[in-house]
Amino acid sequence: MRFPALLDCAEVLPRLDQFDAILDARSPAEFALDHLPGAINCPVLDDDERHRVGTLYAHDPFEAKKLGAALVARNIARHLESRFLQHQRSWKPLVYCWRGGNRSGALAHVLTQVGWPAAQLVGGYQAYRRQVVAALAELPPRLSLRIVCGPTGSGKSRLLQALAAAGAQVLDLERLAAHRGSVLGDLPDQPQPTQKAFESGIWNTLRRFDTARVIFAESESRRIGRLQVPPALIEAMRAAPCLSLELPTPARIRLLLQDYAHFASDPQRLGARLDSLTPLHGHAVIAHWRQLAQSGALPQLAAELLERHYDPAYRRSLGRNFSGIPETMTLALDDIDDAALTAAAQLVHHQKITH
């Protein structure tokens, strides 16, 4: 009888990409909170079944095991028929569950008996999570970070995208957080991930980088939407050299109108977001801004938000939080079209800008 290979997490994580598939045997709710990068959910017990078996186990472990075995066998059979039969003998999956290995062990055992070289992750998701937490504490001080600064609407995120296209190493925290980092920054129809999933995304990005090369990131606060940037990473970012991006105000307004176009068709949602600024600006100012939103005067609203809210907040925050500001290099753009961003990215990537 063949048995699945039992692999330690520290051994597996550096070579995750060598597996043809990563199978998460946990329930859908567990999977939604966080999972290994690239994993697909193949629950051997769904959320309701897991609850039923767990409740029964508290009263009668033997009956719970009988019920669980029947449900697990049925679900594994369904996965075999619907997901796995097309794979050749060489298909190599990695299987994991929460911690104890019962669910992943059952799935990995069946896959191995079929003839696939399946491996089981010892310690499951909990072992993986410990590795991620440790890496996010230990790795950031060793990174060669360069922080792209600039007020709201200066094109920082677009420059990061252009840098990535030019072959630079880019850590785009706002993309990983599904949030633009401001009071209006939540994305339409795209909820933010959980904190653990956000940290998994950061780890999965950093693990692919060459720490001897520069890594570009955007100046961020500790919080992006409702998510927290890991402490060691934010501290490393705030101690890193900075690049300041400048853009004329008319171009900044055009950029904001493009990035926040979804608010144009939903002034009520925009007004609700503006309400959160009432403690800073007072009811009269917010009522005025809500009226601009309702009447469709978005260019004027964007201009006033930049002048009265975003730019003063940026100036206060930057000097207080980023020690690399005194040695900042400045990159001034006339516009944010593709040609300008591509040219700027080439200059930055090849370090051809000066103080």
If DSSP codes are grouped into helix, strand and coil, which group holds residue 109?
A: helix
Task: Please give the helix or strand (H or E) that residue 126 lies within, else none.
Answer: helix 124-138
Residues 161 and 111 in one domain: no
Residues 6+ apart with CB under 8 A from 91: 20, 21, 84, 116
Q: How far is CA 236 from the centre of its chain?
A: 18
In a domain, 354, yes or no: no
- The parent domain of residue 121 ranges over 5-133
pTM, to two decimals: 0.92
Buried b (16+ CB within 10 A) or exposed e, 236-263: bbbebbbbbbebeeebbbbbbbebbeeb
As a whole number of Å, the end-to-end CA separation of the chain is 68
pLDDT at residue 105, rounded to an integer: 96
Q: Phi first, then psi: what are they for 224, rounded to 5°?
A: -115, 105
Indicate the SS3 state at residue 198: helix
In this structure, are 331 and 192 located in the same domain? yes
Q: What is the pLDDT of residue 193?
A: 97
Are 316 and 339 found together in one domain?
A: yes
**Token output for 76:** 């594994």
Given 133, 168, 187, the domain boundary residue is 133
Residues 52 and 185 in one domain: no
The pLDDT assigned to 355 comes to: 40
Q: Kindly report the CATH number assigned to the domain that includes residue 263.
A: 3.40.50
Residue at which a domain ends, from 133, 160, 175: 133
pLDDT, position 187? 82
Q: Which long-range contacts (CB under 8 A, 24 or more apart) does 30-37 make?
A: 30/98, 30/125, 32/194, 33/194, 33/196, 33/197, 34/125, 34/129, 34/194, 34/196, 34/197, 34/199, 34/200, 35/125, 35/197, 35/200, 36/96, 36/125, 36/128, 36/200, 37/200, 37/201, 37/204
Residues 111 and 221 reside in one and the same domain? no
**Are 158 and 278 contained in the same domain?**
yes
Q: What is the pLDDT along the chain (355 residues), one digit of tens a residue?
A: 677 899 999 999 999 999 999 999 999 999 999 999 999 999 999 999 999 999 999 999 999 999 999 999 999 999 999 999 999 999 999 999 999 889 999 999 999 999 999 999 999 999 999 999 999 999 999 999 999 999 999 999 999 999 999 999 999 999 999 998 888 788 877 899 999 999 999 999 999 999 999 999 999 999 999 999 999 999 999 999 999 999 999 999 999 999 888 888 888 888 888 999 999 999 999 999 999 999 999 999 999 999 999 999 888 877 676 665 555 788 888 888 888 888 889 988 877 554 4
- CATH number of the domain at 101, please: 3.40.250.10
The span from the CA of 234 to the CA of 245, in Å, is: 20
DSSP letters for 157-170: HHHHHHHHHTT-EE
Nearest Cα residue to 195 out of 228, 239, 159 = 228
Tokens of 42: 């193949």
pLDDT score at 186: 84
Inside any domain, residue 275:
yes
pLDDT value of position 35: 98
Q: Which member of 9, 97, 149, 242 is catalytic?
A: 97
Helix/strand/coil (H/E/C) assignment for every residue in 278-298: HHHHHHHHHHHHHHHHHHCCH
Q: Identify whether 355 is part of a domain.
A: no
Q: Give domain status of residue 40, yes or no.
A: yes
Task: Specify whether 9 is catalytic.
Answer: no
Counting the structural domains of the chain, the total is 2
Q: Does 159 share its domain with 307?
A: yes
> DSSP code of 310?
I
